[in-house]
Amino acid sequence: MNWLDLVLITTFVVYAYAGWVHGFVSNVFSGGGLLLGFLLGIALAPRFFTQGSGDALSAVMSIVFVFVVAAVGNFTGSMIGRSLRIRRGPGRAIDAVLGAAFGTSVVMAASWALGYAVSASTLPYVSAAVRDSTVLQRVDQLMPQRAGEALQAFTDTLTGDVFPRYLDPFETEIIPATEPPDDKTLALKSVRAARASVVRVLGEAECNRTIEGSGFVIARDRIMTNAHVLAGVDEPTVTVGNRRYDARPVWFDPDLDLAVVDVPGLDAKPLRFETGAQQGDPAAVLGFPENGPFDARSARIRGRLDLKGPDIYGNGRVSRDVFSIRSLVRSGNSGGPLISTKGEVIGVIFAASISDPETGYAVTAAETIPIARAAARAEATVSTGQCA
């Protein structure tokens, strides 16, 4: 248990006592007002605060806004319910018990909803506490899966427009310790040669957002990137050096967060995959972070994990075979390769830790190779879905 668990338990006890004192009938209005106000605040927050801004102030203001609207709902409901309170008589005991149960249930649901959204926020200390909360983990087990999907718009106001949620909201993030990366890796001829096969991926998504990411050549006229980079984009472009190519999506996997585009006339050498990478191995992250110039960062593999979380849209629950790496991973690195000292691809970058700035994640080559082989032969244009 952590400090947040103590706060939550205290809050539950307070609301249970208040429900006992005021009774079920009165609490239906006060608790119902709280819950309706909370849900209204969650629904309205995306209209007033920029989704995907990644700004901590915007995230804090969104949370405060929800609390204010919930408080107004609670106060209004309390005023209505006060006149209906059962103060005495044979039904008072039952009314008190039901009131305590209802009050506790309401605040549990509200706490879970806020925790679900905050777990992916740009407030690392708070999000870490939420992920490690034993109480919220227990409440999460009682909630229907689709409840979390309904909170996606509000969640977007608390997160940066960087990477999709990569971990279940109440799952503790495991970050294995490892030695710092070795910058000498970047000087290797094999690593420097891989640069020529790394590309910039750009596009206009259907939600009027400009997307940016990286990719790399996997076969003749074929570029691999992340699915969340292409989500909602009908006509992506690929830039190699100073030349821009039109691209066409031929593979789109929102579960593994991998996609492949066909780029006719592409003049670049395919990179090879390597499946033998292990914990502690040196590596390099190649790409175009923040839509800037080409960037190479030394990295080291922290460990290999079976990472469980939602797909790129925040729905369902998928399992990914990934490497946790020690390196700086930024927006725009998405879809870029994790390169071994041999200049071969050992993973595809798809996320950065929200709690540790020196940790990123890459889908392993073992997970990626089957898609690369199938996509190399794919010819039909596929849908890239909606914006992620």
Is the Cα dihedral 182, 187, 189, 195 positive or negative?
Answer: positive
Q: Which residues make Cβ contacts (< 8 Å) with residue 101, sequence separation at least 6? A: 16, 19
Distance set, CA 216 to CA 8, 295, 326 (Å): 47, 14, 21
Contact 259, 350 (CB under 8 A): no
| Residues 91, 93, 96, 97, CA torsion sign | negative
258 forms bridges with which residues in the sheet? 253
CA distances to 30, 74, 85, 139, 313 from 89, rounded to whole Å, are: 22, 26, 12, 34, 52
Please check whether residue 237 is in contact with residue 230, taking contact to mean a CB–CB distance below 8 angstroms. no
Residue 185 CA to residue 187 CA, distance in Å, equals 5
Residues with active-site annotation? 228, 257, 334
Tell me the longest C-alpha to C-alpha distance in the chain.
86
**For the purposes of burial, counting CB atoms within 10 Å of the CB of 251, is it exposed (0-12), middle (13-18) or buried (19 or more)?**
buried
Q: What are phi and psi of 284, to 5 degrees?
A: -145, 140
From residue 369, give the alpha-carbon distance in Å to each of 145, 155, 213: 31, 32, 20
CB contact at 8 A, 337 and 274:
no
Instruction: Please give the structure tokens belonging to residue 173.
Output: 């993030």
List the beta strands (DSSP E) in the chain: 198-204, 210-219, 222-225, 237-240, 243-246, 248-253, 258-262, 282-287, 295-309, 318-326, 337-339, 345-352, 359-364
Instruction: Quote the CA–CA distance of 133 and 12 in Å, as a whole number.
Output: 15
